[in-house]
Structures are given as C-alpha cells and as structure tokens.
Amino acid sequence: MSGDDLETLALLHDPVRRSLYEAVASGGGDVGRGEAAEAAGVSRTLAGHHLDKLVEAGLLESGFRAQERKGPGSGRPAKVYRRAAGERSVSLPPRDYQALASVLADVVAVLGAEEQAEESARRAGRRLAGGRAMPVEDVLRERGYEPYRAGGRLRLRNCPFHVLAEEQPLLVCSMNLALCQGLLEGLGDDPGRAELDPRPGECCVALSKINGD
C-alpha cells in the first residue's frame, strides 16, 4: 500500500464522507446527489462537496444522467456517482498477497488441479462458518461480499476476488462458488442454494430461496 492509498482511505474517517460513500456503494449503480444526501442526512450542497472530494480521491466516479423530461425547461443532466472500480487495501508495512495469489492460480491452471482447488475452497468455506449459528447474509457481509436481496434471491454486489477473477475467471468463479457452498454447509444450510448467476459488476454467485421470504 502506498502513502497515497493511506491518505485516500483516511478520507473515510470523516463520518459524513463515509456515510455518503456507503450510500453510493450500496446503491449498486448511479446514485444522485439528492439520494446520497438524504441517505446520509445532510444537505445537497454539503453532500456535493464531499462527494466531489471522494471522486478526486478515486473512491467514487461521477457522470451525468439525462433528465426524464425532454425539451425546453427540462434542465441540465443530473450529476450522479458510482463506486470506483479500483481496489485499495491497508497494510503496514505493505504486503503483496495479490501477486502470490495470482501465481498460485496460474499453477492450479497449469497442473489441471481445478477439482482439488474447488474442494479446498469448500473446506475453507466450512472453516469460515466456524460452527456459528448466524444467517449466511451476515457472514457474507463480514467477508466483503455486500449481499442484498433482489427477486427472491440473495445477490452479492461485490466480488472480494475481483482482480483474480479477471485473470482466471473460470477457476476463480468455480472456487468462489465452492467457498460459498462450503460456508452454507458449515452454517447448517443447503449448499445447493449457492449458484453461478453472474451480473456485470457484481459477484458471480447468488443464493436462491432466501429463508423467510
């Protein structure tokens, strides 16, 4: 992690900026200034100031959304914000686990050990459960998947293995699926609920048949 990364993440120490960032990140797409301001409980003007600071720091991206009303008097396009695609992590001193993970993924692919890798991921998922009696949604949130409910399914807005998934999509997505299945099994749930159901910009795994819905 560079000093710039540390300074960037330090911006989220401010409670208003953190609330605005979370409002945009949880929106799953383009979020308007007014929507973010309402979620954070601040004025539009204050929200705009902090949102633009988050854009400058590379934590958010901005764009414009055309007004639904067309023609004269429709007004200017509305400014919207979305979470930036890049990744940042904090580690002092810096650690480069990503490079080693990339090497290991290459080794698995070269050796044709995909089945063994999936079984290892399934065991890791069972270990993550740790014998706890808690909803899988809470555990997934702890692990950075950012789960949300949509259409009777539990979808995962964030892929914790995004960079590796872009390098080795078949291997990493199959291991991610096995990890989630192992997690469900470890929580006493049906591992078959975890399925591959990719959406652009989201995790490739979704959980069906949400309990209680």
25: CATH: 1.10.10.10
Q: What is the pLDDT of residue 46?
A: 94
In a domain, 213, yes or no: no
In a domain, 212, yes or no: no
Domain of 102 in residue numbering reads as: 98-207
Contacts of 31 (CB under 8 A, 6+ apart): 23, 24, 80, 81, 82
Across 144-170, b (16+ Cβ under 10 Å) vs e yields ebbbeeeeebbbbbbbbbeebbeebee
Element (H, E) at 126: helix 114-129
Residues of the chain below pLDDT 50: 1-3, 213
pTM: 0.76
Total tally of structural domains belonging to the chain: 2
Treating both helix axes as pointing N-terminal to C-terminal, what angle do 114-129 and 169-186 enclose, rounded to 10 degrees?
Answer: 40
Three-class DSSP category at 28: coil
Q: What is the pLDDT of residue 111?
A: 95
Q: Does 48 share its domain with 122? A: no
Q: Does 203 share its domain with 106? A: yes
Q: What is the pLDDT of residue 194?
A: 98
Q: What is the pLDDT of residue 47?
A: 94
In a domain, 169, yes or no: yes
